Amino acid sequence: MTATADSTESAFLAGNNTLKSRLRRAERMRKVWALALIAPMFVFLMVSFVIPIVSLLKLSVEDLEVSKALPLTVEAFKAWDGEGFPPPEAMQVFAQELVVAEENKTLGSATRRLNYSLSGFKSMLKKTGRKAEDDLAGVPADQILDAFIAIDKDWGDPAYWRAIKDAVGPLSDYYALWALDRQRDADGDIVMRPSTQSIYVDVLLRTLEISVAVTLICFVLGLPIAYLLATLPTSRSNLLLILVLLPFWTSLLVRTTAWIVLLQNQGLINDTGIWLGLWNEPLELIRNRFGVYVAMVHILLPFMILPIFSVMKGINPWHMRAAESLGAHRWKAFLKVYLPQCLPGIGAGTLLVFILSLGYYITPALVGGPQDQMISFWIVENMSSTLNWGLAAALSMILLLLTLVFFFIYNRFVGFDKLRLG
């Protein structure tokens, strides 16, 4: 009797085990399937998006131009401690390599890089390159420095030799410091750049200033609208919501264009104002900070209204009445009872508007003046006009870090899965 019971039990247990393992296998299969479905998108985003950005950001800590153009010189300069002049043998290597580089025309980006360190380096190096074959090749070690000085007297200044030494790479904080208006002096200490080159700290502060101001204005204008939408009956609030969504769906460029048409000197507002006799001369409404604020707030306002509205919709209106019936003044009831309940929406809206405005480029570029350009403008400028990609990458790094910090806060506070799209 007992034996049979035992065997049934063990058979049951065995069956239980297979069921368990089969369940586990099914679960594993689900995961494999899930990963297989996600994989194509993941690979695609990696190749088309993540790798490009990482490879750009890498430029901000690299310093490879000189070592690419003059690899042997870089090797020879490594032995030099940076005091006074490099050993004559290293100069000879440099001279030899200049001849080759001049022949192959591979000096371009290296001269540009060295010119960042000391202006005037570019023309000097070009001149030296041209004369290298005749005047420098095969000069004995004890005369090599004089031969350089004979071509350009600036070679007698150790600072130029040192600039080459400083640019040997492969890693360097040169561009990162530049993006913060700093540089290293002869002793390797971090000092301010000359004031003529110091613009990026100002640009960074200005970017923050514009973003904060735009966020505040959006909040002040967005709160009443969200409140109105939330307190109206649904049929009417739906209609008004469409009025908010319409600009939201219209392209940024179209809306910026509309503001140019309205604000420019012969634009609608100036024409109307003069026609009505309100003012006589066209007012400067564009190419200044005013225009930037007007256009940026217009574009970002829906991002403030929508999250606040969706939170306000869920607030029981009786709370306000209850507070008032208990003797609170209407304003006190609003501030103490209603507003605290809106905080999640307000937090989401302000953070979103702030994060988005940090990276603005098109609108300030079209309606702002030279003093209203944000950090994105200088990334584009360095990327496409001055071709200083290292500096562009360093500025990108700063902008990215700034954005990620606030996005991290947004994520903790709101959760990125609740990102509203409209």
Partner 1 sequence: MALPIYASPVQRVWHYFFIVLCTAIFLYLLVPIFVIMPLSFNSVPYFSYPMEGYSLRWYEEFFTSDQWLLGLKNSIIVGVFATLVATTLGTLAALGLNRADFRGKTAMMAILISPIIIPIVITAAGMFYFYASIGLSSTLTGLVLAHAALGVPFVVITVSATLVGFDHNLVRAGASLGANPFRVFFKVTLPMILPGVVSGALFAFITSWDELVVAIFLAGAEEHTLPRRMWSGIRELLSPTITAVATMLILFSILLMVTMELLRRRTERLRGIRN
Q: How far is the CB of 253 from partner 1 (least distance, A)?
A: 5
Backbone angles phi, psi at 360, to 5 degrees: -70, 140
Residue among 72, 177, 252, 328 that touches partner 1 (CB under 8 A): 252
Q: How large is the C-alpha radius of gyration of the chain?
A: 33
How far apart CA 193 and CA 177 sit, in angstroms, is: 9
- Interaxial angle between packed helices 339-358 and 200-231, expressed in degrees from 0 to 180 and rounded to the nearest 10: 140
Site string for partner 1, 270-309 (x = CB under 8 A): -xx-------------------------x--xx-------
Give the nearer residue to partner 1 in terms of CB position, either 253 or 343.
Answer: 253
Residue 84: left if φ>0, alpha if ψ -120 to 50, beta else—which one? Answer: left
Of the listed pieces 34-42, 114-122, 123-131, 188-196, which binds partner 1 according to CB under 8 A? Answer: 34-42
Q: How far is the CB of 241 from partner 1 (least distance, A)?
A: 10
How far apart CA 162 and CA 3 sit, in angstroms, is: 92
Q: Which residues pair with 191 in a beta bridge?
A: 183
26 near partner 1, rule: CB under 8 A: no
Q: How far is the CB of 150 from partner 1 (least distance, A)?
A: 41
Contact indicator for 268, 379 with CB cutoff of 8 Å: no
Contact indicator for 227, 312 with CB cutoff of 8 Å: yes
Contact indicator for 73, 91 with CB cutoff of 8 Å: no
246 near partner 1, rule: CB under 8 A: yes
Give the nearer residue to partner 1 in terms of CB position, either 8 or 384.
Answer: 384
Of the listed pieces 17-25, 180-188, 249-257, 341-349, which binds partner 1 according to CB under 8 A? Answer: 249-257
CA end-to-end distance (rounded Å), the chain: 71
Q: How far is the CB of 55 from partner 1 (least distance, A)?
A: 5
Question: What does the block give as tokens for 36?
Answer: 């297989």
Using CB under 8 A as the binding rule, the residues of this chain from 366 to 395 that contact partner 1 are 366, 376, 379-380, 383-384, 389, 392-393
Using CB under 8 A as the binding rule, the residues of this chain from 321 to 360 that contact partner 1 are 330, 355, 358-359
239 near partner 1, rule: CB under 8 A: no
Give the nearer residue to partner 1 in terms of CB position, either 48 or 195.
Answer: 48
